[in-house]
Structures are given as structure tokens and as C-alpha cells.
Structure 1
């Protein structure tokens, strides 16, 4: 047989991110106050934040908020606001961005429509929607460097065994939005070598 042995490891890994984890991150982001800026808490108390997937809509995911207004004109009025989000991902450049969104209030009353626009335009758009474009390739390179440091630090996982490993590439294949989670499909390319320095007796 003349089959040539090829060194290298190619691994495809689906990474599950539950909506609950994303909801906590979004809640912290929405409530955060930027230097010299406004927080959503200046306008309304966030009662509840959630994510949902509606197969009937031409969007990837929906962000829902239940808020209680604090401003003089809308004080103590509660509304439910949903923002339907559709994303795009370029596999070649590893750039992830918001393609389009649509905000919907729970009814069409003038007061609540104005409150929806106030929250959306002054807080959510500035803090989240306008910053949705991400260069994931750069972030993955930073994580790749950290992984390789850990691999170099742990070359002897057990007595008599020496492992040499190096990850050359870490990239994202695609995203899949399901009903309770987002799946990020990762591609890992690298090399590994195993050396037995002491045989068991």
C-alpha cells in the first residue's frame, strides 16, 4: 500500500449557546451606561428581556422587552416591544452583521408608539443595533493564540505521555438559529503528535 499518511487534525464542532445565556448578556448590555451617554434606565424600567424564534417570520430571532416608562409624559405605562432581527455572515471574511430589523409595539396607540421610538432610537439603536457588525475573524485569532498557549503549557497530561499540539486555524462555518438556542458551527485545523516516553509495566 502506498497511501501517504497525512498529518493534521480537522474537527467540526457545533457550539450551542442557549437563549438564556444570550438574554443575560443582552440585559447587562442594555442596562449599561456609557460614559457621557444614556441608559435605558433613564427612560424606562426593564421588567423582562427574552429571545424567541418564530418560524413564520422572515427573521432569524426576536428580541422581546417588557418595560415600564419613567418619563413624565409616559410615566408608569408598560409596553411590550419586540425587535425582529435578521443577520448575515460572510464565511470568507468571518464578518457577522445585522442585515435588517423591525420593531413592533404591542398596540398602535400614539403614546406607546412614541415610547417605542424613544427607547429604540435613543438607547437600543446606539447601544446594540448600530454595533452589531463584528469582525469575528479577529476575535477568533485572539482565542486561537490563547488555546495554543494552553496546549504548550500542558504537554504532559499523564506520566509517560508527551503531547505536542498546535492549532493553526479556528473559523466559523455558519450559524443556525433554533427555538431555544443559537448554534455556532466551528472549524478547527491543527496538528498533534503523541509520544510515549514510558511504557506501563
Structure 2
């Protein structure tokens, strides 16, 4: 019966809300406990800081979307076991073709009481920490979309009973992120969906 539908008869723009707390949980799993350092010419890795905590929220700085507040512990000989905070103001980038979210622009702001530590951490952040953050915050959406698309189409292919005697079936051909809009407490993701579907009534209850 699917051959009756040569063109998609369902086109939707579906908004999806993701609270920053959800994204924060993901970043904490990726970053907390991470030691950041550099490998020297002998192949020995020297760690400079360890990430103790990470908090994410709407940026209060103009022209930035989010602020990542990192609590760091220094591991160098000069500043051993000093706890400092580093604010990373972030502008998100989104490549619709490749379906990739990443860090487009950033600005660093140290928050310790020591000017020397602040400058040392910011110098370190510009060379090492930022690379780590950019890598951890880069999200390729294609594998996730492909997985969800497969699950949805598997259910639609078997017919879903929406009500007694009423069944839904079809196929989602296009599922992609069209736009990302940072808000005050959440990230709004607009999904573009193109599909065909039909309702099969097998029984009418009076």
C-alpha cells in the first residue's frame, strides 16, 4: 500500500527543547576529572590542571550564547593544588549541511584572587583548555539522527495502533536539524521532518 504515496504528504517543523541542565550533565561526564596537559619532545605528558566541576548557563556577556564555568585545580609546581574558576563565554556555531554543533567564538575570564594565577590560567586556557573544550563540545548530530530515524521507521513499518481499530503507518524520509536557538534556560532545536503516512481504520466501534 506504500506504493500509493510517491511524495511525502507530511512536512513539519518541530521545536525540541533541551534544558541547559541536561547539557550540563553531559559536559560534566565529559570534563570532570579530566587532566589537561601537554606532551613534551620526550613523549612525557605534563598535566597543568584538573577539572573539578563544570556548570553551564546563559551568557550574560553580549554577543555570546553560553557561559561554561570551570572549577580547576592547578597541578604545576608553582601553583600546586590551587583552585581557580575560569569562565568561558561561548558563541555556538551550527553547520546545517554537516549537522554539527561546535564552538564558533569564545572569550576567557579568570576569577581567582591572584592576578598572576589568572593570567597563567588564561594563557594556558588559550593554548590547551580551549582545545579540550572545543573538542568536548563538538557534537555531530548525524549518527544520533540516523539512529532515531531507524527506530521511528521500524515502528511505523509495523503499524502503530493509535486507538482501538485505528492504525498509523508510513515512513520518515528526512529528519534533520534546521536551526538552533539559545534561550535563557534552554536550547531550542528546530527539526525539519518530511514523511509520508496514512491512517488505516480496521474497525469502527459504535
What TM-score range do you get, normalising by the shorter chain?
A: 0.7 to 0.9
Matches within 5 A, 1:43-82: 43-44=49-50, 46=52, 48-82=53-87
> Structure 2 length normalisation: TM-score?
0.76
SS of the counterpart of 1:129?
helix
1:175, distance to aligned residue in structure 2 (A): 0.9
**Superposition deviation, residue 134 in structure 1:** 4.2
Any idea what the Cα deviations from partners look like across 1:51-89, whole Å, max 9, x if unmatched? 222354211211111233344422232211011111222
TM score, norm. by length of structure 1: 0.77
How much does 1:22 deviate? 0.9
More strand by share: 2
Q: CA RMSD in A?
A: 3.0
CA contact (8 A) 2:88 2:109 kept: yes
Shift of 1:27: 0.7
Equivalent pairs counted in the alignment come to 190
CA distance 1:121–1:144, change in 2 (3 Å):
same
Q: Is the 8 A contact 1:98 1:129 kept in 2?
A: yes
Is residue 2:26 matched to residue 1:25?
yes
Alpha-carbon offset, residue 142 of structure 1 = 3.1
Range that drifts further, 146-155 or 113-122: 113-122
Matched, 1:198 2:203: yes
Cα 1:43/1:7, change in 2 over 3 Å: closer
Q: Which structure 1 segments of 5+ residues have no match?
A: 1-5
Partners of 2:102 and 2:50 in 1: CA distance? 27
Matching residue of 2:12: 11
> Does the 8 Å CA contact 1:43/1:119 hold for their aligned counterparts?
no
- Preserved CA contact (<8 Å) 2:11 2:195: yes
**In 1, Cα distance between the equivalents of 2:132 and 2:61?**
28
Equivalent residue, structure 2, for 1:109 = 115
What is aligned with 1:85?
Answer: 90
Structure 1 residues 45 and 189: CA distance shift in structure 2, 3 A? closer
Give the direction of change, closer, same or farther, for the CA distance of 1:110–1:33 in structure 2 (3 Å limit): closer
Query: In the alignment, is residue 179 of structure 1 matched against residue 181 of structure 2?
Result: no
